[in-house]
Amino acid sequence: QKEVEQNSGPLSVPEGAIASLNCTYSDRGSQSFFWYRQYSGKSPELIMFIYSNGDKEDGRFTAQLNKASQYVSLLIRDSQPSDSATYLCAVRAGGFKTIFGAGTRLFVKA
């Protein structure tokens, strides 16, 4: 069974701090890695994706991938209360099937 594991949280950080969200996956054949944000009662919204080892930055967000350790992370710099949401890690092993983790709830305190 291919799994994506995340700490359910909640992760609580003060406004302006860096939030660090982590994810591990079981399938070594995974090729594409995604971070989605999901507000309560809403649909997932893609933040960014990464498929090469290393870091990928987009504004306040940085995704980090380490395929040897089967580990993906998302850093959110200068966290804002509006960043409070559930963050979903997802992986794809080629093809179209995307496997999601259960998500980490982030709470940014004003």
Partner 1 sequence: EPEVTQTPSHQVTQMGQEVILRCVPISNHLYFYWYRQILGQKVEFLVSFYNNEISEKSEIFDDQFSVERPDGSNFTLKIRSTKLEDSAMYFCASSDRTKLNEQFFGPGTRLTVL
Task: Catalog residues that contact partner 1 under the rule CB under 8 A.
Answer: 32, 34, 38, 42-46, 49, 51, 88, 90, 95-103
Q: Minimum Å distance from CB 12 to partner 1?
A: 20
How far apart CA 94 and CA 45 sit, in angstroms, is 21
**Paired tokens of 102:** 């259960």
- Classify 59 in phi/psi space as left (phi over 0), alpha (psi -120 to 50) or beta: left
Our CB check for partner 1 shows the closer of 17 and 61 to be 61
How far apart CA 70 and CA 94 sit, in angstroms, is 16
Our CB check for partner 1 shows the closer of 40 and 110 to be 40
Side chain identity, residue 55? D
Q: Minimum Å distance from CB 46 to partner 1?
A: 6
Our CB check for partner 1 shows the closer of 94 and 110 to be 94
Q: Minimum Å distance from CB 10 to partner 1?
A: 14
Q: Where are the alpha helices (DSSP H) in the chain?
A: none
